[in-house]
Structure 1
């Protein structure tokens, strides 16, 4: 990619105002000028208007959706760079048909999401948010926490992240069971856990934690029927993707207290709407999709983003999705 006029690069959804300091964006000059956006725009018309002047767009994971309709409204766009080598928010076929290069980044901290998962498990089962809120308000103890040792951890999806979460469960003295469509008993045994059937996973888990990739087979996989199998005191934890769980069914189960509670880092629509029930239900611990938001991940991702933009400018795109 070459030309006399400077290219315009948009960096979207820099919520923490950190992207400018994490890479050498100046190295792209004079061929490219970079603009950083720290807010989130979900309205399609407003987003298309904002991005109309840009030749390249940088996405922090799946914070903003780039579907075929949006891509068709951005005739100037020729490059998308996303954090990670997989992004369900980008219509890759539509991008390819329009000649838009899509590049990604590798690396990051593989322990980040498992660490947050266990932070949520322990915080939910010991009611840390409620107890801390009571202390700040001048109160004291409000509930009796649940011990995790001796309890059953159900792991839905035993890939890289699920395996890390499962091994920590074993270290905590939990019985760990797992299921996914392709999981074999041999693979589960390698991790030191037991493969069970799907319904058994939901019936027996005291904590059910989700670690599947979102796709046609997993969207809505956890619905009213599955939630109805869970123990009344069990907790559901989701640090994977919101649409894997039926949001309406989960809200109903929580409102009716048919399960003990939920700890959620991911949602159907992000950012979460101001009046959404997950913001105020007393048996929900919600965090704003921070599973991958760590220093190590960002320090790897942003320099690779600049590298990918430079490679595209030089006519040799790298790490194409």
Structure 2
């Protein structure tokens, strides 16, 4: 077996791959880890959903594996060091979901600003307009580039922060985003969009020292990994009203349990990974991943060893043109 597909793909993409390689489609393996590892023993390439961790134990069960395909662009659940050691390339979409994510963020900001009222000078509780707001983008992802094009159409001021980019980097000018330190961004923004790719060093980036400086009445939209936000600090600012509402498109299991700070907090909304999941984005992602897998399976493999080196690099260079990896 050359290719095992666990993540459902578009029918025409599946057919295209089946015409070129031996393909086995087994979506049930996503919830059967033991059977999945048995199936991987003779596999050269696999397409896995985000729920399946690509880690050292999985790679040890797949001695012939050369490629792991991911339909989502996030790096969560991927052990880059283990892939590098095993010389397994991770193929994932960095741009296919960008426009879908940007549209989702715009819609979420519009909904929160209008739905969560503030007190006006005449004493009435009223909504706000996106066109009169300053929106802070945290993380210069492909979706941020799309937002930098969409938001000014409303008249919105767009500011941004990325821990991997200096404020003098030309990417800010190229994308039309005003760079600010994170504290200043939080102090000025009526709404923030957290888009940053997750790495362990960024865990809890938005903690007490950051959220405590948020502009009163701010709304937060997060399409990134929820671990970037400290849940205790978020619960506190939501209770105080410093942040009026927060919308997370994904959240770590257990964060809303009865013994956790966010349990029962008003103003918190969670959706199940809707931002990048559209018919159009999945089609783009499926074709991009499929073509790259086909290219790699057609290439002559290097001499095999028990562990082999890998991709991806730890962070994509935001100044690069959109690409597949």
What's the TM-score once normalised by structure 1's chain length? Answer: 0.73
2:18 is the alignment partner of 1:67: no
Q: 2-side partners of 1:273 and 1:108: how far apart?
A: 30
| CA distance in structure 2 between the aligned counterparts of 1:183 and 1:249, rounded to whole angstroms | 27
Q: State how far apart, in whole Å, the 1-side matches of 2:131 and 2:214 are.
A: 19
Match of 2:136 in 1: 154
Query: Is residue 2:34 matched to residue 1:51?
Result: no
Q: Aligned partners of 2:21, 2:133: CA distance in 1, in Å?
A: 58
**Pick from 184, 197, 213: which aligns with 1:200?**
184
TM-aligned CA distance change 1:224 to 1:168, over 3 Å:
same
Alignment counterpart, residue 210 of structure 2, candidates 199, 202, 226: 226
1:179 aligns with 2:157: no
The aligned residue for residue 316 of structure 2 is: none
Give distance in 2, aligned partners of 1:20 and 1:149. 38
CA distance in 2, matches of 1:102, 1:295: 23
Tell me, what secondary structure is at the counterpart of 2:107? helix
State the alpha-carbon separation in 1 of the partners of residues 94 and 188 from structure 2.
Answer: 37
Q: Please, which runs of 5 or more residues in structure 2 have no aligned partner?
A: 118-124, 302-309, 313-325
Residue 234 of structure 1 deviates from its aligned partner by 0.9
SS of the aligned residue for 1:289 comes to: coil
Aligned residues: 291
The 3 A distance-change label for structure 1 pair 310 and 165 is closer
Q: SS at 1:87's partner residue?
A: coil
Q: Deviations over 1:15-58 (max 9, x none)?
A: xxxx25241347536962422326964xxxx5244332232421
**1:106–1:70 CA distance, 2 compared to 1 (3 A):** same
Q: Quote the residue 1:9 is aligned against.
A: 4
**Structure 2 equivalent of residue 259 of structure 1:** 243
CA distance in structure 2 between the aligned counterparts of 1:198 and 1:305, rounded to whole angstroms: 34
Give the equivalent residue in structure 2 for 1:80.
68
Tell me the residue number matched to 2:81.
93
Contact 1:48 1:70 in 2 (8 A): no
1:35 aligns with 2:25: yes
Q: Report the counterpart of residue 268 of structure 2 in structure 1.
A: 284
**Please, what TM-score do these two structures have when normalized by structure 2?**
0.72
Unmatched 5+ stretches in structure 1: 1-5, 131-142
Which deviations, in whole Å up to 9, do the C-alpha atoms of 1:71-112 show, x marking residues without a partner?
335556554222367734322332343354544457525322
Deviations 1:250-271 (A, max 9, x none): 234334544201011132349x
